[in-house]
Structure 1
């Protein structure tokens, strides 16, 4: 594409701008300016001092023009985000804006950007961040989807069955699971809400048309893992992301139940699936296990009943666990916010409790652990504590909190944002890494 290089004069909403065709054409061909100054359009030669009139907002255009000139983005506070994104969409520059806007996620610099709320009668139960900084929220029998501009897309539903979990394959594809027998698992378009695949389950050579599904995870080979089936005879199903066809199944065995797991995670280094089942109503069914799909074996498993006695507190239970492959361990948290560490393949009942844990005197309700970028996140009441360290030594580095909307039910990290779902009100707080200051 050969670009014209002479000066261009633009009248945008009554304000005059002068630049070059080369600057405007740097927006690429799929933008408005790339098309205007592409030779294939065969525009008539411009007269001296000819103006191109564009009936749009001049303040937003000034910001976008500077973005094309410098590659840097600074939006003055008086310009609303929605207006600016709409103008960027008009010019075909949304990709440029997002590329310039997104920062490296840094939890120690997060700022509360905004909140998303809803007045519907059903409680929101889970939030999942998309890779580009959008999010999806489970809301009764539907999933509400928001892009990185926090604009709501059409909702997703599996015949309005109760949603159990949400997973983003990428920014355009979402998988949702339903805990009701007629629900199962579906793959949807995040932007249109269209159902692309409805997965079928084949368990021991018998195809199940409808089935209950639970928590989800993905691996780098394009596979979807999900706990599924009833508590008594369920297991872990595996499907191909592209075709939606089932490729494997792991039955519950050895007295362990996988169907009602509260967390599953694929471990690339161990080539195993981590399964955490900590909320079973039967004490002897609570466990943390590693599953090897190659020979359908349970590599190791430990029962999570009353596993430790602290001299300051009553016997405590593990309430959440997360594998940490770099240190070959599993991090667990008990009801007193004490961190413990278990050897990844150790079947003993011993737990090494960290001396750096900031334990609470009062038991906490269902804390959640997440590992992101080498930092450990733990939700507690109405705040999220962030730790940095390694092995069994973790130091508190920052705390994210906002108590007005109640305790934290769930949180998720994606792009440069952290989304925190509040339990007492249907509110999702959005914490964002701010852009570097313009010098």
Structure 2
């Protein structure tokens, strides 16, 4: 039987096109327009209803209250506030029935709904096994991938369903989502970057760096721009390192930058990039890495022009070297956390002058972890100048705990992991909390 069946004919004045569509859902009559129905896309459930308007009033044997939420989603692109009174799983089932799950994902994962000062811990995602999370990937299309030990556990956009893939790695150290079903994974002690098909549960392709000594190449970091993927490799003998650039669609190698062959005690060239972040506003790649030795921790940060392969800015640090670095593209600022002081400091990208835990950016906000707490840094404009103010994150019951080991952002949600915890904390704003 089709999903809806005809009842009484609709009345359409002669010579006029009736734009109003009536729909009977579970005995309750709804009226909307053809434009609203066709906004779901061609060849969908709703487009069929729009095409049949004027012939009969369709009857759909579904819950009218849930249908009203779906109709609001079609009209505005967002769920109404009353949707919080319903179970998210019920909404998911209805969105799949009507073929508008993508619209629901976009609504709940909309970055515009991200309220940094209103985040609170709303959910705990348990992981199988005894290994703590080592890497997170939270793609914009609404999902979460968690590396823990030799496994990668993927949660769907609703965070209700999960699947686990066993990899060849002893432990996964770097993770990057390439598409809803593909991730790039690498390890500090396992040769090659693996492209994993999560749906089929297999390795689709392995990328290697051909270094001079022909030894294996381990992955130290992965990053990406809209068109390219960047991979920091180090030879297994630890005597050379490089950053390779690949086409993000075909995975074909494009160019090589930052190639270093280490001779003698050249410590600076011995440090591979352990963090890669694309700066879209400048069209530059930020690469940073640090090294701990008998004399303390030293490191360097560089901004690379990928097209020319040239460094456009760099700084080396030996006093209070960075524990972590992040670029806030919207604010044109590089932030760092000092390895000794634990304090956050920054340099204005527009000036590119030297300055001088975990730190990540989301929109125009900077999140910095100190021990078990999370600080939120935001810009305050004062008398024509700019300063950054920090605030502690979360409600009293959410604050503190074990050391934060990973931060990731997906849509309007923040994901957080802690040392020796086999779970992922989900932090959401009240407006997105179900």
Range of TM-score over shorter length? 0.7 to 0.9
Measured against aligned partners, the alpha-carbon deviations of 1:94-137 in whole angstroms (never above 9, x if no partner) come to 12223333251231122333221124122211222211342211
Secondary structure of 1:435's match? Answer: helix
Pair 1:319 & 2:327 matched: no
What displacement does 1:403 show? 4.8
Q: 1:107 to 1:38 in 2, by over 3 A?
A: same
Name the one with the larger strand percent: 2
- Give 3-state SS (helix, strand or coil) of 2:393's partner: strand
Which residue pairs with 1:395 in the alignment? 389
Following superposition, the deviation at residue 167 of structure 1 comes to 1.5
Output the CA distance in 1 between the equivalents of 2:426 and 2:338: 25
Cα offset, 1:154, TM superposition: 4.0
Match of 2:292, SS? coil
1:12-411 matched pairs, under 5 angstroms: 12=26, 15-20=27-32, 22=34, 23-38=36-51, 45-46=55-56, 52-54=59-61, 56-69=62-75, 71-74=77-80, 75-101=82-108, 102-104=110-112, 105-152=114-161, 154-156=163-165, 158-171=167-180, 173-182=182-191, 184-189=192-197, 193=201, 195-204=203-212, 211-230=217-236, 231-249=238-256, 250-253=258-261, 254-257=266-269, 260-267=272-279, 273-281=285-293, 283=295, 286-290=298-302, 292=304, 294=308, 300-304=314-318, 307=319, 316-323=320-327, 331-341=336-346, 351-352=355-356, 367-389=357-379, 393-400=387-394, 402-403=398-399, 406-411=402-407
Q: Contact conserved, 2:297 with 2:321, CA < 8 A, in 1?
A: no
Secondary structure in structure 2 of the residue aligned to 1:201: coil
SS at match of 2:377: strand
2:416 alignment partner in structure 1? 420
8 Å Cα contact 1:330/1:341 also seen in 2: yes
Following superposition, the deviation at residue 436 of structure 1 comes to: 8.9
How much does 1:282 deviate?
5.5
Tell me the secondary structure at the aligned position of residue 67 of structure 1. helix
Does residue 10 in structure 1 map to residue 14 in structure 2?
no
Q: Give, in angstroms, the shift of residue 252 of structure 1.
A: 2.6
Q: Give the secondary structure class of the aligned counterpart of 1:202.
A: coil
Per-residue deviation at 1:229?
2.4
Query: Secondary structure of 1:8's partner?
Result: strand
Contact 1:185–1:213 (8 Å) recurs in 2: yes
DSSP-derived class of the 1:177 partner: strand
Structure 1's unaligned 5+ residue stretches are 308-315, 353-366
Q: Are residues 271 and 79 of structure 1, via their aligned partners in 2, closer, same or farther at CA, if it must alter by over 3 Å?
A: closer
Q: How far 1:290 moved relative to its partner? A: 1.7
Which blocks of at least 5 consecutive residues in structure 2 are unaligned? 1-16
Cα pair 2:328 2:364 within 8 Å, conserved: no
Q: CA offset at residue 165 of structure 1?
A: 0.8
Q: Specify whether residues 291 and 347 from structure 1 end up closer, same or farther in structure 2 by C-alpha distance, changes over 3 A only.
A: closer
Superposed CA RMSD:
3.8
TM-score scaled to structure 1, two decimals? 0.76
1:64 Cα deviation from its structure 2 partner? 1.4
Contact map agreement 1:235 1:258 (CA 8 A) in 2: no
Q: Distance in 2 between matches of 1:25 and 1:337?
A: 53
What is the total number of aligned residue pairs between the two structures? 398
Residue 92 of structure 2 aligns to a residue whose secondary structure is helix
- For 1:28 and 1:268, how far apart are their aligned partners in 2? 31
Distance 1:265 1:38, change over 3 A: same
Pick one of 416, 425, 429 that aligns with 1:433: 429
Residues of 1 paired with 2:246 and 2:294: CA distance? 29
**C-alpha contact 2:247 2:254 (8 A) present in aligned 1:** yes
Verify the 8 A CA contact 1:215 1:264 in the aligned structure 2. yes
Q: Matches of 1:373 and 1:245 in 2, distance apart?
A: 30
Contact kept, 8 Å, 1:385 with 1:400, in 2: the verdict is no
Spell out, residue by residue over 1:4-37, the C-alpha distance to the aligned partner (whole angstroms, 9 max, x if none).
756534243xx43333573544433343222344
Deviates more, 1:116-125 or 1:58-67: 58-67
Query: Residue 288 of structure 1: SS of its match in structure 2?
Result: strand
- Native 8 Å contact 1:9 1:52 kept in 2: yes
Q: CA 1:237/1:222 → structure 2, altered by over 3 Å: closer, same or farther?
A: closer
- In 2, distance between residues paired with 1:89 and 1:243? 31
Bigger mean CA offset, 254-263 vs 89-98? 254-263
TM-score with structure 2 setting the length? 0.76
- Cα separation, 1, equivalents of 2:84 and 2:140: 26
